[in-house]
C-alpha cells in the first residue's frame, strides 16, 4: 500500500498557535502535516522533571487543540521514546519535512536530538529547526549578540493562519498510560492556569493595571505575586513568545505613564534570553561548575541541612516561607529564589548540585537555560559575578516587614507578634507560651547561626576566588559569555 506523504511539526517548548514558525512553514507547504508532542519516558524520569511540568504541558496542549479544532487539526500526543515514535511514523507515512524549534535543553534532550538528526538523514527527511526567541545556535562568543537580539525582537510577529486539514485521524500504539493520563488531567488550582489564552490574559492584566507597581514591588514576596508579570511559565513552555511580549509591552498605550516599570520588564526579557544563550553554548552548567576552579572548593554534605531546606524547616522564617510557597504554587520572585540558593550554598555550605534539581522540580516556570546559569551565579561558582550572600533576616524585615508572607506560608507562626516574626527564636518563654508557638517544638530553632555561617562562607568564597585555577578560568568565561559591547 502506498504511503501518504506528509510533513511533521514537532512541538517542544512552543505550545502556542501564533508567532509559530514551524506551523507557519507547514501551512505554506502544499503537503498535509501532523502536529506531534512526545511524552518521553527518559525525559520524564530525568531528575529535573516533575508532575507539575507535565501537567502544565498537557493542559497547554488541550488549550492549543481547542484553537486548532475548527481547522480539523490537533496535536497528536505520543508516549514513548522519540526515535521509536519517528520510526513508527516513517513506517506509516512518507515524511518529507520535519519542522521544529531549536531547544536549549539538557544533555539528555541534546543526545535525543542527535539521534533524530541521524534518523532524518538516513530517511531523507529534511529537518528544519528554527531559532527560538533570541537564542543563537553555534556561536562561540557574544560579539554583536545584543544587536542581533534586538533585531530579532523587532521583526514582525508571525500571524499564523490555518486551512482545514484533510488528513484523516489515525490510531497508534504510543498512547498515554491510563494512570499517567489521569494524573495529568488533575491540575491543581494553586498553579497558574496553562495555555495560550491564559498567557495573553496575564499579559493584558499586567499592562492594563498590575504592572504599574512592577519596580516598586518586584522584590517583595507578597506584592510581587500581583505586580510582576507572572508570564514566566508561559514563556518557559512557549504559550507565548518573547517577541510577542516584547512588542505588546513596548507599544502599549500605558507605556507612557508606566515607562520605568515597562522598561524594567522589557530589560528582563533580554536577560531571559541572555541566560538561555549561556546554556545553549555550554549545557555543562547543569552538572559542572562553569568555572572549573570551583570544583576544588569542598563541601561536607549534610543530609539534615538539605532536608530542612527542602521542606522549609530551617528555622529562618523567610527562607522557610519561600520553600513552602514554591512547593505549593510553583512560583516565588527572583530575589527570593536568589536568597534560598544563597542560604543553601553559603550559610548551609552545601554543594549547589545537591539543591538544583529540587528547585527545578518546584518551579512551574522551569527552563534549564535560565535555571542552571542562575543557580551557579547565585552559588558564586562563576568567578566573574559578585558574591551575593543574602541575609534572610534583613530581607524579611525589609521586604515582608509585617510578616504577611511568612504567616501565610508558615501557619505555626501565625500568632507570633510582628516584633518577633523575623527572629522568633528570640522570644522569651512567656512570649512563646502566650502565642502558642514553642520554638524547637512547633517551629524549629535556626539550624545554623546566621552571623557565624555568613562569616565562614564569606571568608571561604572570597579566599577561593583568588585561587589561580579560578582566575585562569575567568578570562575564558568573559570571552565566551559576556557581551563585548557591555565590557567596553
Residue 458 lies in a domain: yes
Is the same domain home to 236 and 321? no
Is the same domain home to 122 and 201? no
How far is Cα 261 from Cα 212, in angstroms, rounded to an integer? Answer: 6
Residue 136 lies in a domain: no
Is the same domain home to 306 and 413? yes
Q: How many domains is the chain built from?
A: 3
Can you give the pLDDT of all 488 residues of the chain as single tens digits? 678 999 999 999 999 999 999 999 999 998 999 999 999 999 999 999 999 999 999 999 999 999 999 999 999 999 999 999 999 999 999 999 999 999 999 999 999 999 999 999 999 999 999 999 999 999 988 889 999 999 999 999 999 999 999 888 888 999 999 999 999 999 999 999 999 999 999 999 999 999 999 999 999 999 999 999 999 999 999 999 999 999 999 999 999 999 999 999 999 999 999 999 999 999 999 999 999 999 999 999 999 999 999 999 999 999 999 999 999 999 999 999 999 999 999 999 999 999 999 999 999 999 999 999 999 999 999 888 778 899 999 999 999 999 999 999 999 999 999 999 999 999 999 999 999 999 999 999 999 999 999 999 999 988 898 888 888 888 778 888 776 554 33
Contact 334, 342 (CB under 8 A): no
Residue 140 lies in a domain: no
Domain endpoint, select from 256, 281, 306: 281
Residue 146 lies in a domain: no
Is the same domain home to 293 and 200? no
Bridge partners (DSSP) listed for residue 77: 37
Residue 59 lies in a domain: yes
Residue 171 lies in a domain: no
Which CATH number fits the domain that encloses residue 420? Answer: 1.10.579.10
Is the same domain home to 305 and 395? yes
- Contacts of 465-468 with CB under 8 Å at 24 or more apart are 465/380, 465/383, 465/387, 467/293, 467/296, 468/293
What pTM did the predictor assign? 0.96
How far is Cα 309 from Cα 410, in angstroms, rounded to an integer? Answer: 14
What residue numbers bound the domain in which 436 lies?
285-487
Is the same domain home to 266 and 340? no
Is the same domain home to 255 and 359? no
Is the same domain home to 265 and 380? no
How far is Cα 251 from Cα 245, in angstroms, rounded to an integer? Answer: 10
pLDDT at 1: 60
Domain endpoint, select from 281, 307, 340: 281
Is the same domain home to 352 and 274? no
Is the same domain home to 231 and 296? no
pLDDT at 487: 38
Domain endpoint, select from 102, 130, 158: 130
Amino acid at each position: 500500500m502506498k504511503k501518504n506523504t506528509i510533513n511533521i511539526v514537532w512541538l517542544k517548548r512552543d505550545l502556542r498557535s501564533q508567532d509559530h514558525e514551524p506551523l507557519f512553514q507547514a501551512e505554506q507547504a502544499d503537503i498535509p502535516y501532523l502536529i506531534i508532542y512526545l511524552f518521553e519516558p527518559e525525559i520524564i524520569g530525568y531528575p529535573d522533571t516533575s508532575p507539575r511540568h507535565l501537567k502544565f504541558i498537557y493542559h497547554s496542549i488541550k488549550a492549543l487543540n481547542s484553537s486548532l479544532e475548527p481547522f480539523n487539526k490537533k496535536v497528536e500526543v505520543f508516549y514513548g521514546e522519540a526515535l521509536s515514535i519517528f520510526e513508527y511514523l516513517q513506517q506509516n507515512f512518507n515524511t518529507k519535512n520535519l519542522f521544529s524549534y531549536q531547544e536549549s535543553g539538557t544533555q539528555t534532550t541534546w543526545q535525543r536530538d542527535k539521534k533524530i538528526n541521524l534518523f532524518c538523514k538516513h530517511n531523507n527527511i529534511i529537518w528544519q529547526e528554527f531559532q527560538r526567541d533570541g537564542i543563537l545556535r553555534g556561536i562561540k562568543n557574544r560579539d554583536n549578540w545584543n544587536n542581533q537580539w534586538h533585531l530579532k525582537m523587532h521583526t514582525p510577529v508571525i500571524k499564523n493562519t490555518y486551512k482545514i486539514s484533510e488528513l484523516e485521524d489515525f490510531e497508534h500504539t504510543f498512547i498515554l498510560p491510563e494512570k499517567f493520563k489521569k494524573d495529568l488531567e488533575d491540575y491543581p488550582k494553586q498553579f497558574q492556569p496553562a495555555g495560550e489564552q491564559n498567557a495573553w490574559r496575564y499579559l493584558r492584566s499586567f499592562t492594563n493595571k498590575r504592572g504599574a507597581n512592577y519596580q516598586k514591588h518586584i522584590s517583595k514576596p507578597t506584592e510581587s505575586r500581583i505586580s510582576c508579570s507572572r508570564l514566566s511559565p508561559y514563556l518557559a513552555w512557549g504559550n507565548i513568545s518573547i517577541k510577542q511580549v516584547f512588542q505588546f509591552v513596548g507599544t502599549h498605550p500605558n507605556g507612557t505613564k508606566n515607562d520605568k516599570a515597562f522598561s524594567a520588564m522589557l530589560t528582563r526579557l533580554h536577560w531571559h534570553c541572555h541566560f538561555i544563550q549561556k546554556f545553549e553554548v555550554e549545557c555543562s552548567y547543569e552538572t559542572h561548575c562553569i568555572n572549573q576552579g570551583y570544583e576544588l572548593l569542598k563541601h561536607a554534605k549534610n543530609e539534615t541541612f538539605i532536608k530542612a531546606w527542602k521542606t522549609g524547616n530551617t528555622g529562618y522564617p523567610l527562607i522557610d516561607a519561600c520553600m513552602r510557597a514554591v512547593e505549593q504554587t510553583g512560583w516565588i520572585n527572583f530575589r527570593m529564589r536568589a536568597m534560598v540558593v544563597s542560604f543553601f550554598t553559603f550559610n548551609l555550605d552545601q554543594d549547589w548540585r545537591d539543591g538544583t534539581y529540587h528547585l527545578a522540580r518546584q518551579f512551574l516556570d522551569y527552563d534549564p537555560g535560565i535555571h542552571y546559569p542562575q543557580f551557579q551565579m547565585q552559588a558564586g561558582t562563576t568567578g566573574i559575578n559578585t558574591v551575593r550572600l543574602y541575609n534572610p533576616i534583613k530581607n524579611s524585615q525589609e521586604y515582608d516587614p509585617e510578616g504577611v508572607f511568612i504567616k501565610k506560608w508558615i501557619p505555626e507562626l501565625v500568632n507570633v507578634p510582628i516584633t518577633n516574626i523575623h527572629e522568633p527564636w528570640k522570644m522569651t518563654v512567656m512570649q512563646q507560651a502566650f502565642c502558642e508557638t514553642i520554638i524547637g517544638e512547633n517551629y524549629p530553632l535556626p539550624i545554623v547561626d546566621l552571623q557565624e555561617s555568613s562569616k565562614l562562607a564569606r571568608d571561604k568564597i572570597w579566599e577561593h576566588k583568588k585561587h589561580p585555577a579560578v582566575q585562569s578560568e575567568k578570562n575564558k568565561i568573559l570571552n565566551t559569555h559576556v557581551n563585548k559591547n557591555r565590557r567596553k
